[in-house]
Amino acid sequence: MRVLLDCRMASWSGIGRYSTGLARELARMDGLEIVQVIEEGLAAPVPGAETITARSHAFYPTGGLELGRIVDAAKPDLVHCLHVPTPIPSRYPLAVTVHDLTPLRVPGVMPSIVRRSAYRWWCGRAASVAGLLIADSRATATDVASFFPRAAGRTRVVELAADDFVGGPGGELSPALAEGGPYLLSMGNTKPHKDLPTLLRAFAQVNVRRPDLRLLLVGRDEPGYAVAVLGDTPAARRVAFTGHVDDPTLRALYVGAEAFVFPSRYEGFGLPPLEAMASGTPVVCSDASSLPEVVGDAALLFPAGDVTAAAGAILQLLDDRTLRASLVAAGRARAALFTWKRTAAETVAVYRELLQAHGGGTSPIE
């Protein structure tokens, strides 16, 4: 089976982890030949595999037209777009992964009307032209059916993994990150659906009991953000953004944290809690969208947006070492269920279903 993988967004954060993890596992499978399409100037997820470079931005119309020409020249048995942009025209059996519908579900995430309209158009086109859609979670599959009812019967759920991330080399924390006392860890994305204000307010409540505790937020520094939410308080002064960190440093941050706290109101999957559990770090997270699917009973859940409940869960974890140990063990066991090998096997099952629907076709379809 010759599969063309659209890896043009492999440098993005979550989509990049998915593109790399899946492509590398598919490349190990017998009877499967992959052709990876990558963005100009970037390394291919699978060194040594057949690679084609694309020059246009994936979300521009020119990107769709360019991908269409690439597909026609490569003559694959099927095409798998690892995000919603699709080839124009689409003449081969096509699978498309929909990670989430955040820009359509959450006001303010994509303020530009032009960009939001383009995103909706690409999602709608994927729902129309794909033989099968792949969703990261049941929550995302439900969203797809809600926004694009014609795709409801053609959506399959295939979950992601984090075993490749955890298996990588660990790093050391810089003195600025390592010094200053124990810390809670979270992601520093300030977009509305990530709901950092709830986390900061919960941390302020926790800080009254645990003044030595810090809150480290992984991501670009946002000067004044904590003070804007909490005022010029002792808790605000215990909050720090890490700036960009590489994967070894991120692994070290997970391992050293007292807990990983994830307050998000909307996720298509939720890789950070999975990475934290696989790293042996106990997780406290909201009960929103896909997150209960990921963490199961291996984390402490609180109602999304509930500051008092979030603070209570964090304090419960900090105060009860037996509970902490049980969550660490449960988290590792839960994370071990999510592997790229399983993701790849389930993805290939979707490929086979797609080809079967086209008569096993290895020829272009109109």
Verify that 176 and 73 share a domain, yes or no.
no
CATH number, position 199: 3.40.50.2000
Degrees, nearest 5: CA angle 15-358-268: 20
pLDDT of 107 reads: 81
Cα(75)–Cα(136) distance, rounded to whole angstroms?
27
Domain that holds residue 73: 2-161+339-357
Residue 365 in any domain: the answer is: no
Verify that 260 and 309 share a domain, yes or no.
yes
Verify that 183 and 282 share a domain, yes or no.
yes
Cβ-proximal residues to 58 (8 Å cutoff; 6+ apart), any chain: 6, 8, 9, 39, 67, 83, 85
Cα(362)–Cα(67) distance, rounded to whole angstroms?
19
Verify that 114 and 212 share a domain, yes or no.
no
Tally Cβ neighbours within 10 Å of residue 359.
9
Mean pLDDT in residue range 96-117: 92
Coil, helix or strand at residue 78:
strand
Residue 169 in any domain: the answer is: yes
For 293-302, what is each residue's pLDDT tens digit?
A: 999 999 999 9
| Residue 335 tokens, joined | 């994370």
Residue 179 in any domain: the answer is: yes
Residue 315 in any domain: the answer is: yes
Asked if residue 77 lies in contact with residue 3, where contact means CB atoms within 8 angstroms, the answer is yes
Verify that 171 and 82 share a domain, yes or no.
no
> Looking at the 3D structure of the chain, how many domains does it have?
2
The yes-or-no verdict on residue 364 having pLDDT over 70 is no
Question: In the chain, how many H helices and how many E strands?
Answer: 15, 13
Degrees, nearest 5: CA angle 96-100-106: 145
Verify that 117 and 183 share a domain, yes or no.
no
pLDDT of 361 reads: 47
Sign, CA dihedral 184-185-189-191, equals negative
Verify that 285 and 177 share a domain, yes or no.
yes
The yes-or-no verdict on residue 148 having pLDDT over 60 is yes
For 20-53, what is each residue's pLDDT tens digit?
A: 999 999 999 999 999 999 999 999 999 999 999 9
Residue 366 in any domain: the answer is: no
Verify that 262 and 177 share a domain, yes or no.
yes
Cα(194)–Cα(256) distance, rounded to whole angstroms?
23
Verify that 111 and 201 share a domain, yes or no.
no
pLDDT of 360 reads: 63
| Phi/psi of residue 247, nearest 5 degrees | -60, -45
Cα(54)–Cα(24) distance, rounded to whole angstroms?
20
% of the chain exceeding 70 in pLDDT:
98
The yes-or-no verdict on residue 362 having pLDDT over 60 is no
Residue 363 in any domain: the answer is: no
Verify that 180 and 322 share a domain, yes or no.
yes
pLDDT of 108 reads: 86
Residue 58 in any domain: the answer is: yes
Tell me if the pTM is above 0.85. Answer: yes
Verify that 63 and 184 share a domain, yes or no.
no
pLDDT band at 140 (very low <50, low <70, confident <90, very high): very high
Verify that 262 and 250 share a domain, yes or no.
yes
For 248-292, what is each residue's pLDDT tens digit?
A: 999 999 999 999 999 999 999 999 999 999 999 999 999 999 999
Residue 27 in any domain: the answer is: yes
The yes-or-no verdict on residue 137 having pLDDT over 90 is yes
Contacts 24+ apart (CB under 8 A), 111-120: 118/59, 119/59, 119/84
